[in-house]
């Protein structure tokens, strides 16, 4: 039967900043008990999260590749509380709380980023009929902008994904009037001045160019209001249409406007990694 499982806690400061989700080797520390007698068996939770079959998850645990709250667990009897304990497999965080919901929504143009618009305009909730969870949107897209909007009920992850401190990249495709100056990308990467301060893109490239218009890709970690539209207008190319195609590792892919899809467990783990969790 499952009993207390003891392991070694990682040394303070051993986690590298450049790889925030990788669990570094631990130095000898006092034993820490991660077993919760009222919890669920660890291998069962891992299998339910899509890590592998029950047998494969038992092998991972026995091989010392699973950590609970920073403690390497090798005994198969351990039980944990998935709502409060943090689990990593090979350094990647695994979300085990089945009450957590993570959706990728393709917001159509003309829809406001709100769950309950006070003016009665079309909003996100109109596309989530039948879902009982209290979801909130990660950041905003203005009404005229289409594309990827992450919806979840994970407050800590949502906060980090929005905060520029954590540098989570957002990718946009913008159609703008042409022709484009040869040094436009260089100017935007170097940074330009807006009314509320300087801004620089992390990446810029021309996807397609035709007489009188061009399609450009803009990547940045800024989250200020209308930031892409304002910076392109500042350099003389006001946006004709704008679509967000990616947030961190999550791509819009082939999700149709007005539709949503649940993120896979691998995508959720990748989001945690991008946010440094």
Report how far Cα 92 is from the mean position of its chain's Cα atoms.
14
Decide: 184 and 235 in contact? Cβ < 8 Å.
Answer: yes
d(C-alpha 188, C-alpha 202), whole Å: 9
Between helix 265-274 and helix 155-162 the angle, nearest 10°, is 50
d(C-alpha 248, C-alpha 221), whole Å: 9
Q: Is 38 a catalytic residue?
A: no
Q: What DSSP designation does 58 have? A: H
d(C-alpha 52, C-alpha 10), whole Å: 26
Q: What DSSP designation does 26 have? A: P
Residues forming a β-bridge with 219: 171, 203
d(C-alpha 97, C-alpha 88), whole Å: 13
Decide: 88 and 73 in contact? Cβ < 8 Å.
Answer: no
Q: Which of 207, 148, 221, 135 is nearest to 178 (CA)?
A: 207
d(C-alpha 72, C-alpha 8), whole Å: 7
d(C-alpha 219, C-alpha 273), whole Å: 19
State whether residue 49 is helix, strand or coil: coil
Q: Which of 44, 46, 131, 39 is nearest to 79 (CA)?
A: 39
**Element spanning 160, H or E:** helix 155-162
Q: Given 69, 81, 117, 142, which residue is catalytic?
A: 142
Just list the catalytic residues: 142
């Amino acid at each position: 039967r499952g009993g207390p499982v003891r392991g070694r806690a990682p040394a303070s400061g051993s986690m590298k900043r450049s790889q925030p989700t990788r669990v570094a080797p631990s130095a000898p520390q006092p034993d820490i008990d991660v077993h919760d007698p009222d919890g669920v068996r660890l291998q069962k939770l891992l299998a339910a999260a899509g890590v592998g079959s029950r047998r494969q998850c038992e092998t991972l645990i026995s091989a010392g590749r699973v950590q609970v709250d920073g403690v390497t667990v090798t005994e198969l009897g351990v039980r944990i509380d998935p709502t409060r304990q943090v689990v990593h497999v090979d350094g990647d965080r695994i979300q085990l709380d089945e009450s957590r919901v993570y959706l990728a929504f393709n917001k159509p143009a003309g829809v406001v980023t709100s769950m309950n618009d006070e003016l009665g305009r079309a909003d996100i909730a109109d596309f989530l009929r039948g879902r009982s969870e209290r979801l909130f949107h990660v950041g905003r897209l203005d009404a005229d902008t289409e594309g990827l909007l992450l919806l979840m009920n994970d407050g800590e992850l949502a906060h980090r994904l929005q905060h520029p401190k954590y540098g989570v990249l957002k990718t946009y495709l913008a159609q703008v009037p042409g022709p484009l100056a040869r040094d436009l990308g260089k100017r935007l990467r170097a940074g330009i001045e807006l009314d509320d301060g300087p801004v620089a893109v992390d990446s810029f490239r021309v996807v397609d160019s035709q007489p009188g218009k061009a399609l450009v890709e803009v990547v940045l970690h800024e989250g200020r209001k209308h930031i892409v539209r304002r910076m392109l207008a500042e350099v003389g190319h006001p946006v004709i249409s704008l679509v967000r195609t990616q947030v961190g590792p999550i791509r819009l892919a082939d999700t149709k406007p007005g539709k949503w899809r649940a993120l896979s467990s691998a995508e959720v783990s990748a989001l945690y990694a991008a946010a440094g969790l």
